[in-house]
Chains A and B, each alone.
Chain A
Amino acid sequence: MVMATMRRGNMLYNGPANQIHSLVLFSANLSLGTFGDDEPDNFDINCFSQLEFKDSYSSLTCNFIELPPDNTNYTLALCNKEDSNYVCFNMEKREDAYFLQFTDILSNKDICMDSETKRRVCRSLVVTDMVKPEVPFNVNITYQKEANEYLIHYSTPHSWKKYLQDKLIHQIAYRQEEGTWKTIESPYLQVKLLGKNLENDASYEVKVRSQPNGDFFKGTWSEWSASKSFRTTREQNFMESYSNVVLVILSILGFMLSVVMIVLIGTFWENRIKPAVWPNLPDHKKTLEQLCKKPKNNFDISFNPENFGYVHIHKVDDIQAKTEQETFLPPSNAPETNLPGKFRSGSDLKMIPAMTDKSNPNLPVTYGGIWPSEALHRLLGTSQTAVTEGNCSSSTYEVCHSSGVPLHDNGFNHSSAPSSDPSVQPGPEPLNGDTISQMLPTGEMRSPNNEEAYVTMSSFYKIQ
Chain B
Amino acid sequence: MGNKTTEIRVKYENILSYDINELVNMSAEYRDRCCKNKKHENTKMFFCNDTQEIESLQSMACNMLRFFHKQKISKDFRWKAALVSCGTLQVLQCKCERHKKEKVCTQLNTHNKEDTETGEQSKKKCNQEFCELKENTSSLRSCWNKFEKIISR
Q: Which residues of A line the B interface, CB within 8 A? A: 55-56, 80, 82, 87, 89, 100-107, 128, 162-163, 167, 216-217
Once A56-B80, A163-B18 are accepted as A-B contacts, the answer to whether A106 and B90 lie under 8 Å apart by CB is yes
Interface digits, B82-122 against A, CB 8 Å rule (1 contact, 0 not)?
01001100110000000000100110111001000000000
Q: Is B16 an interface residue (CB 8 A)?
A: yes
Give Cα A107–Cα B105 distance, bound, in whole angstroms.
Answer: 11
Give Cα A163–Cα B14 distance, bound, in whole angstroms.
Answer: 7
Beta-carbon contact of B80 and A89 below 8 Å: no
Q: Is B55 an interface residue (CB 8 A)?
A: no
Which residues of A are found within 8 Å of B80, using beta-carbon distances?
A: 56
Q: Which residues of B line the A interface, CB within 8 A? A: 10-11, 14-16, 18-19, 22, 80, 83, 86-87, 90-91, 102, 105-106, 108-110, 113
- Tell me which of B91, B110, B113 contacts A106 (CB under 8 A): B91
User: At the interface, is chain A mostly helix, strand, loop or mixed?
Assistant: loop
Given contacts A87-B106, A128-B15, 12 further A-B contacts (CB under 8 A): A56-B80, A82-B102, A100-B110, A102-B110, A103-B108, A103-B110, A104-B86, A106-B15, A106-B90, A162-B19, A167-B14, A217-B14
Beta-carbon contact of B102 and A104 below 8 Å: no
- Tell me which of A89, A106, A167 contacts B11 (CB under 8 A): A106
Beta-carbon contact of B109 and A89 below 8 Å: yes
Which residues of A are found within 8 Å of B15, using beta-carbon distances?
A: 105-106, 128, 163
Which residues of B are found within 8 Å of A101, using beta-carbon distances?
A: 110
Which residues of A are found within 8 Å of B109, using beta-carbon distances?
A: 80, 89, 102-104
Give Cα A200–Cα B27 distance, bound, in whole angstroms.
Answer: 57
Q: Which of A101, A102, A106 has the most CB of B within 10 A?
A: A106
Number of A-B contacts (CB under 8 A): 44
Q: Top 7 closest A-B pairs, CB basis?
A: A162-B18, A216-B14, A106-B90, A89-B110, A104-B109, A107-B90, A102-B109
Minimal beta-carbon separation of A330 from chain B (angstroms): 138
Beta-carbon contact of A82 and B18 below 8 Å: no
Minimal beta-carbon separation of B61 from chain A (angstroms): 13
Minimal beta-carbon separation of B122 from chain A (angstroms): 21
Minimal beta-carbon separation of A61 from chain B (angstroms): 15
Which residues of B are found within 8 Å of A128, using beta-carbon distances?
A: 14-15
Give Cα A128–Cα B10 distance, bound, in whole angstroms.
Answer: 12
In the complex, what residue of chain B is closest to A106 when comparing beta carbons?
Answer: B90
Once A82-B102, A216-B10 are accepted as A-B contacts, the answer to whether A104 and B18 lie under 8 Å apart by CB is no
Which residues of B are found within 8 Å of A167, using beta-carbon distances?
A: 14
Minimal beta-carbon separation of B133 from chain A (angstroms): 18
Give Cα A89–Cα B112 distance, bound, in whole angstroms.
Answer: 13
Minimal beta-carbon separation of A125 from chain B (angstroms): 14
Give Cα A464–Cα B72 distance, bound, in whole angstroms.
Answer: 115
Beta-carbon contact of A82 and B106 below 8 Å: yes
In the complex, what residue of chain B is closest to A52 when comparing beta carbons?
Answer: B18
In the complex, what residue of chain A is closest to B105 when comparing beta carbons?
Answer: A104
Give Cα A103–Cα B18 distance, bound, in whole angstroms.
Answer: 14
Q: Which of B22, B80, B105 has the most CB of A within 10 A?
A: B105
